[in-house]
Amino acid sequence: MPQRFATIWFRHLITDWTVIERPDLKGEQFVLAAPERGRLVVKASSSLALANSIEVGMLVADAKALFPSLEVIDDKPGKADELLEALAEWCIRYTPFAAVNLPDCLILDITGCAYLWGGERAYLKEIVVKLKNIGYDVSVAIADTIGASWAVSHYGQRKRIIDVNGQENALLTLPPAALRLDDIVLERMQKLGFYQIRNFINMPRSVLRRRFGQQLLDRIDQALGNAIEIIQPVQPIVPYQERLPCLEPIVTATGIQIALRRLLKMLCGRLAKEGKGLRSAIFKGHRVDGKMEQIDIVTNSGSHHVEHLFRLFELKISTIEPDLGIELFLLEAPVVEDVDPVQETLWNLSGSADDVSLMELLDRLAGRAGMQSIQRYLPDEHHWPERSIKVAASLTEKPETNWRTDRPRPVHLLLDPLPIQATSPVPDYPPMLFRYKGEVHTIKRADGPERIEREWWLEQGLHRDYYCVEDQFGARYWIFRLGHYDENNSKWFIHGFFS
């Protein structure tokens, strides 16, 4: 498939925006101006002002002398760049690859996109009509190269859609300025009588380089497709993305669900062929008013199971506000991972129903409460209790060691031990009672001590003597004395709770 590019040239970008913001200026003669070297200079002219020869760079005083009723508005530096950035993001509904081309253009890589609108002519017409309805006067063109589409959009008179491999013929009758050359080169060409590209395009390259420099050759090669021209999209391209434009704006939850299911089938089919599953996905809806609605999900393991993923999204569909309607849906999977074929058999009827239920439960909990609400722990190769467990990165991570089962361990281990007041009249015996959070616990049963030494290669300090104790209410605790017994200065701590 040949590459195709569209250039959108905003003829009066900043003044069109000014009229959109101030409708009372429509049909009026005005300029945007800013001080320069102590004088007020025209930075942008409305279409009516341009028709009356009030051009950029003209002194405001001279313009006011010609047209006393001319309205002068303060220019906002950087506003044009900001507008182009926003318009490029708006154009993402037509292609995932939209880039800004200063000072007043957008470049769209529309390869493989136009057929969704019924062809390039209908595709171009929709863009022009919608921008015109917003209030922008634009000139557009489509060609195989960025250079050719830029040239035709700015200087073309008739045909705006250039046939595949037809860029050279389209350039022949255009002026040298269509090649985006510097003013010095253009002035030199003007003096030599090169008024059209046909006058020099077939001249020997050595002659052109000697007279006009390498820039001319580079621009010719870019326009003809002999050199690659790189542009930077306003949003990074997501490798796993599917798009679904709508013939009519979607305003109902049922329509949104149908669009989501279709996109999931498309994306999951592609992931399945590549042996991958998504770990996160974003469902976006571009509204008619230019705003975007989106919802996202995360999974505990890679999956390309359509029904499961749809149920996760279904929990959040009610938060989407279509307003006047959504005209483009996108489904992106920014995070994917390889999927073990054995893992995917869980979704088949032959798989374990318990495993399937667990996966669904975890993903639904994450969808409602967030991934931070679910943690999986694995044993770690440490004796010191705080370091003996670690958080698993995923459900598929394997433990490096086995859980310790030869000695009792609490089901709830405190992150940091809390000090308690305890009485222990006999060395190496558990205390008779202890006070925790203002409540006295009389110990009825106890087991221990279990001495745990510090890991000297990590830190220095005293050992701990742990006891499993049960109070008068039947509650069980894991407490320890820090260091050796001291009748006057023994320090006790609570570290965990048993079930």
Whether pLDDT at 62 is above 70: yes
Q: Distance of CA 454 to CAs 286, 384, 387, Å?
A: 58, 6, 11
- List of residues 6+ apart from 11 with CB closer than 8 A: 47, 104, 137, 138, 139
Query: Tens digits of per-residue pLDDT, 108-167?
Result: 999 988 888 889 999 999 999 999 999 999 999 999 999 999 999 999 876 789 999 999
Contact 2, 164 (CB under 8 A): yes
| Overall average pLDDT of the 173-198 stretch | 93
CATH architecture of 1-237: 2-Layer Sandwich (3.30)
Contact 477, 490 (CB under 8 A): no
Lowest-confidence segment of 94-108, 171-185, 393-407 by average pLDDT: 393-407
Query: Tens digits of per-residue pLDDT, 473-487?
Result: 999 999 999 988 886
Q: Would you state the pLDDT for residue 110?
A: 92
Whether pLDDT at 460 is above 50: yes
Please name which of 476, 411, 420 lies closest in space to residue 447, comparing C-alpha atoms: 476
Domain ranges of the chain: 1-237, 241-368, 412-497
| Overall average pLDDT of the 456-463 stretch | 87
Cα(293)–Cα(295) distance, rounded to whole angstroms?
Answer: 7
Q: Would you state the pLDDT for residue 348?
A: 47
Q: Would you state the pLDDT for residue 341?
A: 59
> Token match 């969704």: residue?
116
Pairing mode, strands 71-74 and 30-36: parallel
Q: What angle do CA 414, 416, 418 make, to 5 degrees?
A: 85
Strand ranges of the sheet holding 71-74, from the earlier edge strand across to the other edge? 39-45, 30-36, 71-74
Tell me how crowded residue 346 is: count the other CB atoms within 10 A of its CB.
20
Cα(242)–Cα(264) distance, rounded to whole angstroms?
Answer: 8
Whether pLDDT at 342 is above 60: no
Cα(317)–Cα(187) distance, rounded to whole angstroms?
Answer: 60
**Which three-class secondary structure string do you get for 158-201?**
CCCECCCCCHHHHHCCCCHHHHCCCHHHHHHHHHHCCCCHHHCC
Cα(105)–Cα(108) distance, rounded to whole angstroms?
Answer: 10
Contact 279, 298 (CB under 8 A): yes
Q: Would you state the pLDDT for residue 368?
A: 64
Which amino acid, residue 377? Y
Q: What angle do CA 373, 379, 383 make, to 5 degrees?
A: 125
Query: Which CATH superfamily, name and number, covers 241-368?
Result: DNA polymerase, Y-family, little finger domain (3.30.1490.100)
Cα(434)–Cα(477) distance, rounded to whole angstroms?
Answer: 11
Q: Would you state the pLDDT for residue 367?
A: 61
| DSSP notation for 101-144 | ETTTEEEEE-TTTGGGGTSHHHHHHHHHHHHHHHT--EEEEEES
- Residue 180 banded pLDDT, cuts 50, 70, 90: very high
Tell me how crowded residue 259 is: count the other CB atoms within 10 A of its CB.
20
User: What whole-number percentage of the chain has pLDDT above 90?
Assistant: 49
Give helix 79-90 / helix 13-21 axis angle, nearest 10°: 80
The pair of three-digit structure tokens given for residue 477, joined into one six-digit string: 């605790």
The pair of three-digit structure tokens given for residue 419, joined into one six-digit string: 């000090």
Please name which of 107, 202, 121, 91 lies closest in space to residue 151, comparing C-alpha atoms: 107
Q: For residue 403, which phi and psi values (nearest 5 degrees)?
A: -65, 140
| Overall average pLDDT of the 311-316 stretch | 88
Averaged pLDDT of the chain: 87
- List of residues 6+ apart from 274 with CB closer than 8 A: none
Please name which of 392, 398, 288 lies closest in space to residue 340, comparing C-alpha atoms: 398
> Token match 């863009």: residue?
127
Query: Tens digits of per-residue pLDDT, 346-361?
Result: 444 444 444 556 665 6
Whether pLDDT at 344 is above 70: no
The pair of three-digit structure tokens given for residue 157, joined into one six-digit string: 């008179």
Q: Would you state the pLDDT for residue 319?
A: 92
The CA R_g of the chain, rounded to the nearest whole Å, is 35
Whether pLDDT at 263 is above 80: yes
**Whole-model pTM?**
0.63
Q: Would you state the pLDDT for residue 323?
A: 87
The pair of three-digit structure tokens given for residue 323, joined into one six-digit string: 């307003």
Q: Would you state the pLDDT for residue 15?
A: 93
How many H helices and E strands in the chain?
14, 19
